[in-house]
């Protein structure tokens, strides 16, 4: 089985998700998959498929380099009593999307502070 065949589910999903600048190439018995996802959620979907193909991440026969370019539509200032879930529900997105867009500020998604200015991604 060739590498492109082994990772066909991954590359097909990348195409279906509209990964931009998608490049798939094999070099020195390693398959390189590069591109840019519209959201962290799309990138996570790719990692889930990769994990099904190589559950222990030990094959070392693929390099997946997917960047994320989420647009930021708004900025939100955290208030007392807020949680990422509550904020996400108000914007119709997942708390994971907000967490991914604000990893430079948030180290623990369960601990956000009033006054923090969070980026709210568009999907």
**Judging by beta carbons within 10 Å of its beta carbon (0-12, 13-18, 19+), is residue 79 exposed, middle or buried?**
exposed
User: The pTM is what?
Assistant: 0.57
Other beta carbons less than 10 A from residue 53's beta carbon: 15
CATH of domain 71-122: 3.10.350.10
Domain parsing of the chain, residue ranges:
3-68, 71-122
Q: Residue 10: its pLDDT value, please? A: 95
pLDDT in tens, 67-115: 887 655 688 999 999 999 999 999 889 999 999 989 999 999 999 999 9
Kindly indicate the confidence band of residue 54, based on its pLDDT and cuts at 50, 70 and 90. Answer: very high
Kindly indicate the confidence band of residue 123, based on its pLDDT and cuts at 50, 70 and 90. Answer: low
More confident residue, 38 or 23: 23
Closest to 33 (Cα-Cα) out of 89, 17, 41: 17
Share of the chain above pLDDT 70, in %: 96
Integer Cα distance of 23 and 19 in angstroms: 10
CATH of 3-68, one of 3.40.605.10, 3.30.460.10, 3.40.50.300, 3.40.50.2300: 3.30.460.10
Other beta carbons less than 10 A from residue 112's beta carbon: 19
């Amino acid at each position: 089985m060739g590498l492109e065949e082994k990772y066909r589910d991954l590359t097909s999903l990348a195409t279906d998700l509209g990964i931009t600048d998608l490049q798939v190439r094999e070099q020195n018995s390693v398959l390189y998959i590069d591109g840019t996802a519209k959201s962290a959620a799309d990138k996570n979907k790719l990692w889930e498929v990769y994990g099904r193909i190589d559950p222990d991440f030990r094959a070392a026969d693929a390099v997946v380099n997917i960047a994320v370019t989420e647009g930021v539509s708004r900025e939100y200032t955290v208030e007392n009593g807020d949680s990422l879930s509550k904020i996400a529900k108000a914007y119709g997105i997942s708390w994971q999307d907000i967490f991914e867009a604000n990893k430079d500020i948030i180290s623990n998604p369960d601990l956000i502070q009033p006054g923090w200015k969070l980026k709210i991604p568009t999907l």
